[in-house]
Amino acid sequence: MSPRADAVRSRERILDEARRHDVRALRLNDIARDAGVGIGTVYRHFPTVRTLIEALSVDSLARLSEAAEASATEQDAERAFRGFLSDALSLQLADAGLESVLTDLARTDPVVHSECAAARAKVFDGYGSVLARAQRDGVARPDISAAQLQRLVCGIEHAVRLGTPADREMLLDILLAGIRPASRTPAAVATAAPSPVVAAG
């Protein structure tokens, strides 16, 4: 086996073993021991726990981008918007490291892990396109940004984890209700003409 093929096999073995661990408590020494490779091998592929978490999330990032693309094929804008947010929430609940990869940008070194950085940029583009359509079709309020929407999904993820899986659909409904444009703005209510007063007979 060539040195490159051996390196690829070692990397996959490390990733396979890491998937069996709680991503919130990963330790490179533990992964090396359980994968049957030297700690130096682990560090060559993943210099930090963060880079390992990013590698584990690349597949989830790709599926999140695919969910954004799939939503564009749904003719009903409201169903498309809900479907995408539901998919995004499901992916984050299934991949405990995904939220950190999406939100804690300061800890990412794109030189160390350019694959993850590229995949995440595509996800952000997907959020932007899905939200732009929802805003254009009156499904989402015009003053929310894609970054804010993504953080709201993270908030719902935390709420579901703190509660039970049964909370998921109700909390998603609440999120969507809060994002919908108000039927009447406060300004419109304030300037509405007063009801006529009926004079006493």
Token pair of 40 as six digits = 């130096």
pLDDT tens, residue by residue, 123-144 = 999 999 999 999 999 999 999 9
Report CA 9 to chain centroid distance, whole Å: 29
Nearest C-alpha neighbor of 142 from the set 129, 152, 132: 132
Among 48-52, 76-80, 89-93, 106-110, the least confident range: 106-110
Question: Are 71 and 130 within 8 A, CB to CB?
Answer: yes
The domains of the chain, with CATH numbers, are: 1-46 (1.10.10), 53-180 (1.10.357.10)
Position 65, amino acid: S
Across residues 88-101, what is the average pLDDT? Answer: 92
For residue 6, what are its two tokens? 């051996």
Three-state SS at 109: coil
**What is the per-residue pLDDT across 98-123, written as a single tens digit (0 to 9) for each?**
998 888 765 665 655 678 888 889 99
If you average pLDDT over residues 21-44, what whole number do you get? 90
User: Using an 8 Å Cβ cutoff, are 52 and 46 in contact?
Assistant: yes
CA Rg value for the chain: 23
**pTM (global) more than 0.75:** yes
SS (H, E, C) 144-173: CCHHHHHHHHHHHHHHHHHCCHHHHHHHHH
